[in-house]
Each structure stands twice: as C-alpha cells, then as structure tokens.
Chain A
Amino acid sequence: EAQVTQNPRYLITVTGKKLTVTCSQNMNHEYMSWYRQDPGLGLRQIYYSMNVEVTDKGDVPEGYKVSRKEKRNFPLILESPSPNQTSLYFCASSGASGRMVYEQYFGPGTRLTVT
C-alpha cells in the first residue's frame, strides 16, 4: 500500500530535550516536506526537500533541522524543543519532474506537546 508513515504519532516531552520525528514514504517520491498545523493558521511549511541531499527552508524553519540522506526518509529534528513548538506535524511527499511538483500525499500526523 502506497503511504507516508510518521513516528511517533504522539509525543510529550520537556523543553530542551532533543527529539526526532521520522517520516518515510514507499512511493519513490523525489519531493518531501514537513508542515505544522496550528488552530486558525492552517498548515505552514517548515522545510522541504526536492531530492536526496537537497533541502530548503519553508515559511517557519526556526528551531527545526532536517536531513535527506535517503530518498524514502526525511526526519524532522528539534535540537532544543520549546513550548511554542507544540503543534500537529505532517510529513508529505510528492512526485516531481524537474522543479514541477504535483499533488502531495500526507502522513497521519504527529501530535507533539512540549512542556
């Protein structure tokens, strides 16, 4: 089954404790992206990757890191989480041709609470 998986689905942590949210897709997609969803703000892009070893900042990259060492995986790293990073996070992937990206497929989401 074609899908985007994220782990963990739920995470409660404390300020400053490094964490990683994993994302994996099995559709051989070139493009992957991370979004955060907050009430009244819709979804905002954090980082995206057009291919292996190619990443770029989205609208709200502060406090986050990503890496793309393999095509299927795109982990999101919070080196020192803070309470304002409490949010619902979505990973997405998409086929691409050159710089043209098509519809994105979303993972189930990771609900992160930072206390």
Chain B
Amino acid sequence: AQSVTQLDSQVPVFEEAPVELRCNYSSSVSVYLFWYVQYPNQGLQLLLKYLSGSTLVKGINGFEAEFNKSQTSFHLRKPSVHISDTAEYFCAVSHGSGNTGKLIFGQGTTLQVKP
C-alpha cells in the first residue's frame, strides 16, 4: 500500500533564508507526485507536480521539487522564503498507471517564516 511521510511537522525559518520540506513515499509502482499549499482558512492550491520527464520540477511562487526514485523522495525547496510563504504544505502521491485518482496525503508541514 502507498504511504506518504512528511518528515517535519513544523519548520521555522527566517525570512530570505532557504528552506527544504521533506517528503518520502512508499510505492512499488510508478507514481505521480504533488505538492499542495494551504493558506490559513483556505482550500488547497497546487504548487507543483511530477508526472514524468525531468526529475526537477518548478512550480509557482519560486518553489521547486526534485523526484528521486532511488530514495523515493520528493523534497520541496525554495532558495529564499517570504513572510507570505507561511502556510501548511502537503505532499501527495497517486499511482502513475491505472490509477483511480486516489491521492494519498502526508500529514502536512507547517512552514513558519519569521521576520
């Protein structure tokens, strides 16, 4: 069965510092990988996705993630964060072939950007 582990529940960081939010998944088949962001009192917004092709994926708001098949990881990075990046971030996985649309979410990582 698929599972997703976000290794940090909270990540505090100062403004303009780099950040990495870690995500590991377990699956024996090919996968689609996603990062979503949830701002306070809002729904989830897609940050970026990996379906196939280049393992380095660029998303909105300056975020990027790298798919590492051998380490089954999909870590999210940003070189310089802003106060406005304070939010909860979710990594999600679905099967890449014959999938039924089922998204498996990690538990979420709260990014706290401090001035």
Contact = CB atoms under 8 A, between A and B. Distances in A.
- Answer yes or no: do A and B interact: yes
Interface string A22-61: 0000000001010100001111110010100000101000
Nearest to B91: A42
A45 B51 CA distance: 21
Contact of B101 (A41, A48, A90, A108): A48
A102 B108 CA distance: 21
Contacts of A48: 100-102
Interface residues of B, number: 25
A5 to B, nearest CB: 11
Given A33-B101, A106-B44, A101 B106 contact: no
25 contacts: A4-B43, A33-B101, A41-B107, A42-B90, A42-B106, A44-B105, A45-B103, A48-B100, A48-B101, A48-B102, A58-B102, A92-B44, A92-B103, A99-B98, A99-B99, A100-B98, A101-B94, A102-B32, A103-B49, A104-B101, A106-B43, A106-B45, A108-B42, A108-B43, A109-B42
Interface of B: 4, 9, 32, 34, 36, 42-46, 49, 51, 90, 94, 97-103, 105-108
Nearest to A3: B43
Given A102-B51, A104-B103, 7 more contacts: A4-B43, A40-B9, A43-B90, A100-B98, A102-B32, A103-B46, A109-B43
A96 B30 CA distance: 17
A104 B43 CA distance: 12
Interface size class of A (residues with CB under 8 A): 20 to 34
Question: Helix, strand, loop or mixed for chain B's interface?
Answer: loop
A50 to B, nearest CB: 7
B52 to A, nearest CB: 12
A99 B99 CA distance: 6
B100 A56 contact: yes
Nearest to B36: A106
A81 interface: no
Contacts of B34: 103
Interface string A4-27: 100000000000000000000000
